[in-house]
Amino acid sequence: MSNVTSAHGMWSSKMMFILAAAGSAVGLGNIWRFPYLAGENGGGVFVLAYLVCIFLIGVPILVSEILLGRAGRQSPINSMRMLAKQSGASSFWQVIGWLGALAGFMILSFYAVIAGWAMSYVVEMASGNFVSINAEQASTVFAEFTADAVSVVGWHSLFMALTIYIAARGVGKGLETTVRYLMPALLVLLLVLVSYSALATGHFVEGLKFLFSPDFDSFNVDSLLVAMGQAFFTLSLGMGAIMAYGAYMPKDASIIGTATTIALLDTSVALLSGLVIFPLVFANGLETGQGPGLMFVTLPIAFGQMPGGHIFGAIFFTLVSFAAITSSISLMEPAVAWVVEKLDSSRAKGAMLVGVIAWILGLGSAFSFNIGADITLLAGMTFFDTMDYLSNNVMLPLGGMLIAVFTGWVLKDQLIEEELAGDKVWLNLWRLITRFVAPTGVMVVFVMTFL
């Protein structure tokens, strides 16, 4: 039987857990990554594959992660060790906790670099530096900024310092206070920008068609892997964050109902972000397949051409920064919780230790765009691209598949029934999908990708 509370603290209510988990899920993955991946992979057909992956694979694994976290009430590593022992299973299964914490740590290291870019663009936008800028000038500004190692590292450091500060304050004063204010603010800002896109660009319908009219000719197996990787990335699956947050979840909250709410919120933010970005792209005759620079090259041009664009641009990049913060604190949490348990240290020391190491690792990604651009690792990829590929396309799906297998086939039935006592109507359907559909789906995409 799981402990009633976690030694690290508890969310004050079910709603706070939903806001926190949604804050973990809603981040750069929705606002930066989703639009440019949709732009590169055919728009509507990518969105369709992404939605299928979210609800057939993502939600069942999200339920599993929350369940494991609440049943264990410890860091993901120690929770998995305890639950495997209680189920009479091999200690091998604690690899799920290690894999998640490592993936989250790797993602945090390069995530903080991109988030630093977003913070710098708040200042650039507000100062009017993008007013009436053209495509060539916007590209030059972005290229010059990323080529300046000192600036990139400075903003990376500032973002990581904020993350460390919030994580150090604990569940109640740090994590909960942050998401209590930032999540509603994020949603309000997003709705303001969608309204602007709908009323002022003249290309809102074109953006709708791009996102929701599938073009199957532009989709392939690699795109399917990208869609699945995005589903895992955006729901924070396989990176320990949701399991860590689940450990602080009230016992009387419905896991399946909560997971569904989180997935709907997360997916809504991704689609709304697309509805902000693509009408602006079409209104200015720009390319949808800009890649990772879509948000930092294309949008400044669009905002620069519109009346009051510097204000809306500053609002947009503030939104992105808010979303990044709520995600980064969740990426840090699994490692911080483990350090606190293992070393019997304070939250502040644990957050500082994890944050500084992540900051150092992040320097590799920061330098990938300037002084280290010629250094390649995996298959000719830069340090940044290697971290991104290994974490999102390998470690997260692998971790998710192991979570599905463990909860579906290994975890003791009594533990499952205790945690899902309020979800008996959906229990059998969840078990069926978790045992067969989710792991098979991940495995098939993996095999097809590496053939």
| Under 8 Å between Cβ of 85 and 312 | no
pLDDT category at 7 given cuts 50, 70, 90 is low
Residue 1 lies in a domain: no
Region for 308 from its dihedrals, namely left if φ exceeds 0, alpha if ψ lies in -120 to 50, beta otherwise? left
pLDDT at 39: 84
| Under 8 Å between Cβ of 25 and 262 | yes
Residue 4 lies in a domain: no
For residue range 252-267, list pLDDT tens digits in order.
889 999 999 999 999 9
Structural domains of the chain, count: 1
Residue 405 lies in a domain: yes
For residue range 13-23, list pLDDT tens digits in order.
888 888 888 88
Query: Residue 190's closest CA among 319, 24, 311?
Result: 319
pLDDT at 260: 93
Q: Does residue 9 surpass a pLDDT of 90?
A: no
Residue 8 lies in a domain: no
pLDDT at 30: 85
For residue range 364-403, list pLDDT tens digits in order.
999 999 999 999 998 899 999 999 888 887 888 889 899 9
Give me the mean pLDDT over the 274-283 stretch: 87
Residue 210 lies in a domain: yes
pLDDT category at 71 given cuts 50, 70, 90 is very high
Give me the mean pLDDT over the 37-51 stretch: 88
pLDDT at 4: 64
CATH number of domain containing 308: 1.10.4160.10
pLDDT at 397: 83
Q: Does residue 238 surpass a pLDDT of 80?
A: yes
Mean residue pLDDT of the chain comes to: 88
Q: Does residue 118 surpass a pLDDT of 80?
A: yes
Query: Residue 433's closest CA among 445, 422, 442, 421?
Result: 442
Q: Choose the most confident range, by mean pLDDT, from 26-30, 123-127, 169-173, 388-392.
A: 123-127
Q: pTM for the complete prediction?
A: 0.89
pLDDT at 94: 95
Domain that holds residue 210: 14-450
For residue range 151-196, list pLDDT tens digits in order.
999 999 999 999 999 999 877 777 788 888 888 888 888 888 888 8
For residue range 309-361, list pLDDT tens digits in order.
888 889 889 888 888 898 898 899 999 999 999 998 898 999 999 999 999 99
Query: Residue 179's closest CA among 352, 17, 355?
Result: 17
pLDDT at 334: 92
Residue 3 lies in a domain: no
Residue 96 lies in a domain: yes
pLDDT at 2: 53
Residue 424 lies in a domain: yes
* Higher-pLDDT residue of 234, 61: 61
